[in-house]
Amino acid sequence: MTRPPAIPLPPAGERRRLREARSLSQAQVAAEVGVSRETVRGWEAGRTTPRGRKREAYAKLLAASTPTPTPAKTPAPAPAPAPKPAADGGTGSEAPKPERSKTKASETKTSKPEAPQASAEPEPEPAPAPEPVSEPAPLPASLTPAQAFDALYETCAPALVRQAYLLTGRRGLACESVERAFQQAWQRWPEVAVDRDPAGWVRATAHAYALSPWHRLRPRQRHPEAPPGDPAEHALLSAVLALPPARRRTLLLYDGVGLDLPETAAETEASTPATANRLLYARQAVTARLPGLDIPAALRTRLAGTAVAERLHAARPTVVRTGGERRARRWTRAAVAFTALLVGTTGLTLVTAPDHYEEPLSPGAMVRGVPPRAGPGALSQAQLDLRTKLRSETANGPGRLVPVDR
């Protein structure tokens, strides 16, 4: 599924003229595109360039005010009128004068004000964004949920795998992150299908899974992975991975994906000033290690090249969808088995537990009055009396511990 080509933006000098041609103010254009008035003023002055969805909306707005040139039609020569009889009986005729009409037409054509030509200053080429963030084309309503999911996967999965690789530096984890994100999207498809930006929903889920700190506890994550073959790409990837996760994600979304600052702040769940600071520090850190990337356009190009150079293949949409369904079934069966085990343990406890009160046994008492045994030999009279007394009393049962009143 291919994306439609991006609508080109006119030069900075033409943007204001096209806006005024539609009798629109900067505030009206800002409200239409969804930005502030100062942002529109910066676009018209050439200080900044819109990107992402804002660029498409702004380009469409300006393209609507651009007059479409229509090819000039050559007027067909009017048929000559029939000759009228002259008053003196001759055959005088008043022939049309095509030369004069042609001259008037050319004068009228030249008298029209010509459209002002584009400024001599060459139009700055927009930096090639590695991952266009234009919203996917609306899917036909006749598609089934599985077909709509497969279309979204084929559109977004390759780009998301490359983004996850730039975030983690691991090929297997990048593919796994995208698969898990789409499996969650399939489990919650009724919610994702009506979302304003399904691709953004999946992208945020994939980035959050890729940057999860729990991956460091996995045994295979403790060993480093083979770096890219190109030393320059390896240096760039190392510089990006050296950043903290928040700054790394902000740099990728702004310079790699092409989101503007408010959208980047919303996706990273941070304020706009905090996002701007993260982006500034991330660029400074990367530039300190790679001085040739001090221009944002060069950084975007290198990020795109680093991601594309790696052969990262996403699984087929049917495999991801069926894999998510199998995982959901396994978790459901495990939950049912755990519930059954808990119910069985509770029932066994209820059956084997005592159902009546049992009095506790009386504590034992120390027997006093027994003289210590001195050693082998004949028993004394006191010992003989004690032996006779003990033998005469009960030797077994709890009754032997009951004191006897004498």
Task: Look at residues 338, 364, 368, 318 and name the one whose alpha carbon lies nearest to residue 151.
Answer: 318
Contact 296, 127 (CB under 8 A): yes
Tokens representing 375 are 């050693």
Could you tell me the pLDDT band of residue 390, with boundaries at 50, 70 and 90?
A: confident
- Let me know if domain 7-66 sits in CATH 1.10.260.40: yes
Could you tell me the pLDDT band of residue 106, with boundaries at 50, 70 and 90?
A: very low
Which residue would you say has higher pLDDT here, 205 or 365? 205
Could you tell me the pLDDT band of residue 394, with boundaries at 50, 70 and 90?
A: low
Could you tell me the pLDDT band of residue 108, with boundaries at 50, 70 and 90?
A: very low
Task: Look at residues 202, 194, 197, 205 and name the one whose alpha carbon lies nearest to residue 157.
Answer: 202
Tokens representing 283 are 């660029």
The number of angstroms, rounded, from the C-alpha of 116 to the middle of its chain's C-alpha atoms is 43
Which residue would you say has higher pLDDT here, 77 or 185? 185
Tokens representing 51 are 């990107």
Positive or negative CA dihedral for 400, 401, 403, 406? positive
The number of angstroms, rounded, from the C-alpha of 107 to the middle of its chain's C-alpha atoms is 60
> Average pLDDT in the 41-49 region?
79
Q: CA–CA separation, 98 vs 105, rounded Å?
A: 10
Q: Tokens 């977004």 label which residue?
A: 156
Any idea which of 31-35, 151-155, 371-375 has the lowest mean pLDDT?
Answer: 371-375
Residue 96 has pLDDT above 60, yes or no: no
| pTM for the structure as a whole | 0.53
Task: Note every long-range contact of 92-96, with CB atoms under 8 Å and residues 24 or more positions apart, other chains counting.
Answer: none
Residue 306's pLDDT is: 72
> Average pLDDT in the 345-350 region?
93
Q: CA–CA separation, 58 vs 40, rounded Å?
A: 9
Tokens representing 62 are 């300006």
Residue 103's pLDDT is: 39
Residue 123 has pLDDT above 60, yes or no: no
Residue 245's pLDDT is: 92
pLDDT digit string, tens, across residues 214-272: 888 888 777 777 777 778 888 888 889 899 999 999 999 988 888 888 889 989 999 99
pLDDT digit string, tens, across residues 206-225: 999 999 988 888 887 777 77
Which residue would you say has higher pLDDT here, 208 or 101? 208
Q: CA–CA separation, 297 vs 302, rounded Å?
A: 9
Which residue would you say has higher pLDDT here, 358 or 330? 330
> Average pLDDT in the 130-151 region?
63
Residue 124's pLDDT is: 42
Tokens representing 101 are 């009409």
Mean pLDDT (the chain) is: 76
- Which CATH number fits the domain 146-309, given the four candidates 1.20.5, 3.30.720, 1.10.3470, 1.20.140? 1.20.140
Tokens representing 41 are 């003023």
- 264: Cβ contacts below 8 Å, ≥ 6 apart: 250, 253, 254, 275, 279
Residue 111's pLDDT is: 41
Domain ranges of the chain: 7-66, 146-309
Any idea which of 20-29, 96-105, 270-279, 324-333 has the lowest mean pLDDT?
Answer: 96-105
φ, ψ for residue 376 (rounded to 5)? -65, 145
Residue 209's pLDDT is: 93
**Burial 171-187, CB ≥16 within 10 A → b, else e:** bebbbbbbbbbbbbbbe
pLDDT digit string, tens, across residues 153-198: 988 888 898 889 889 988 888 899 999 999 999 989 989 988 888 9
Residue 406's pLDDT is: 59
Q: Which stretch, 110-119, 125-134, 370-379, has highest mean pLDDT?
A: 370-379
For the chain, percent of residues with pLDDT exceeding 90: 16
Q: How many CB atoms lie within 10 A of CB 156?
A: 25
Any idea which of 12-16, 149-153, 182-186, 324-328 has the lowest mean pLDDT?
Answer: 12-16
